[in-house]
Amino acid sequence: MAKSKAEKSSSTARREFVLSETTPFAIKEAYKTARTNLVFSLASSDAKIVVVSSCAPSEGKSTNCLNLAIAMAETGASVLLIDSDLRKPVQHTMLLLENKTGLSTLLAGISDDFSEIVNKDVYPKLDVLTSGSIPPNPAELIQSARMDKLLENVGKHYDYIFIDTPPVNVVTDALLYSGRVSGIVFIVRENHTTHVEINEAMKKASMTNAKILGFLKVGCSAGEKMGTGYKYKYKYKYNYYKYKDYSTTDHSDARSS
Ligand SMILES: Nc1ncnc2c1ncn2[C@@H]1O[C@H](COP(=O)(O)OP(=O)(O)OP(=O)(O)O)[C@@H](O)[C@H]1O
Ligand SMILES: [Mg+2]
């Protein structure tokens, strides 16, 4: 079915931050650095399955989950992106894909034909499993034996799998993957994510023994100059992070500042 004008403009806006040929060199390089660090932190895992999440809504999880998947596929590795935000899915909007079937179709047992439902070669070497229809019971579906089976099967087939999820301080979905995947990459957005939120998310993560693979800091200050003289707006950092309890520290740089 043809997309409406509103759908098209929403997906155009969302694609603004998605890696493409026109993405500034500095940003592409920053994603390559993030990719390298991620490859190192996954070295000891058999199936390389990465959950991408953040503390709060709208911090850039979905955009950066897609960008990490694109950056990884550019190395020639086979990559699968799963939209497991079964509450507010957007991967199909960013990628202009149909979403009548997807993850929820498989988890609900409506179909077990993964190869029929997955979108193949959305980018070279990158397949995408969209969310499918929004179900009434996302957490239950993510916890299900069908999800275990799916992770086992795709883990054998792909070199890397990236899973987009909702924020951990809002719903439990991302942490339901603890113990079933290699770990979580947390998106942290400058002037948006607060220390209090990070602290709360880390406490939740540690209660489920989630492995934190790293933090990807996005939306950094505008106007920095590169050696090329190119002015770029967004800078991306990927840091290994040793958890520190911030609950007693100064929060003056928090969102309101
Ligand atoms: N680096 C960035 N700088 C500024 N805006 C961004 C950046 N990355 C994404 N955005 C924009 O922020 C909005 C939220 O992005 P995105 O959907 O990726 O976040 P999210 O954390 O997945 O949100 P949700 O919690 O609703 O799932 C989108 O409009 C997106 O285009
Ligand atoms: Mg999202």
Mean pLDDT over residues 1-14, rounded? 66
Q: pTM of the entire structure?
A: 0.87
64 CA closest ligand 1 atom index? 18
| pLDDT, averaged across the chain | 86
Ligand 1 pocket test, pick from 10, 55, 62 with the greatest ligand atom count within 8 Å of Cβ, gives 62
pLDDT of the residue at 45: 85
Share of the chain above pLDDT 90, in %: 76
Is there an atom of ligand 1 within 6 Å of 88 CB? yes
pLDDT of the residue at 42: 94
Mean pLDDT over residues 106-113, rounded? 97
pLDDT of the residue at 15: 85
What is the β-pairing status of strands 160-164 and 237-239? unpaired
Task: Convert the pLDDT of each residue in 55-94 to its tens digit.
Answer: 999 999 999 999 999 999 999 999 999 999 999 999 999 9
Non-local CB neighbours of 214 within 8 Å, separated by 6+ positions: 37, 38, 41, 185, 186, 238, 239, 240, 241
The answer, yes or no, to whether residue 227 has pLDDT greater than 50, is no
Q: Residue 161: name the closest of 135, 185, 144, 138 by CA.
A: 185
Contact status, residue 40 vs residue 246, Cβ threshold 8 Å: no
Mean pLDDT over residues 164-175, rounded? 97
Helix (H, G, I), strand (E, B) or coil at 248: coil
| Residue keyed to tokens 């955009």 | 63
Dist CA 147 CA 106 (whole Å): 8
Second-level CATH architecture of 23-239: 3-Layer(aba) Sandwich (3.40)
Mean pLDDT over residues 203-219, rounded? 95
For residue 2, what is the DSSP state? P
The answer, yes or no, to whether residue 235 has pLDDT greater than 80, is no
Share of the chain above pLDDT 70, in %: 82
Which residue is closest in CA terms to ligand 1's atom 3? Answer: 219
Which residue is closest in CA terms to ligand 1's atom 5? Answer: 219
Q: Looking at 108-163, list the stretches that DSSP marks H as alpha helix, in order from N- to C-terminal side.
A: 114-117, 138-143, 145-157
Task: Convert the pLDDT of each residue in 175-187 to its tens digit.
Answer: 999 999 999 999 9
Q: Confidence band (pLDDT; 50, 70, 90) for 47?
A: confident
Q: Confidence band (pLDDT; 50, 70, 90) for 256?
A: very low
Contact status, residue 139 vs residue 166, Cβ threshold 8 Å: no
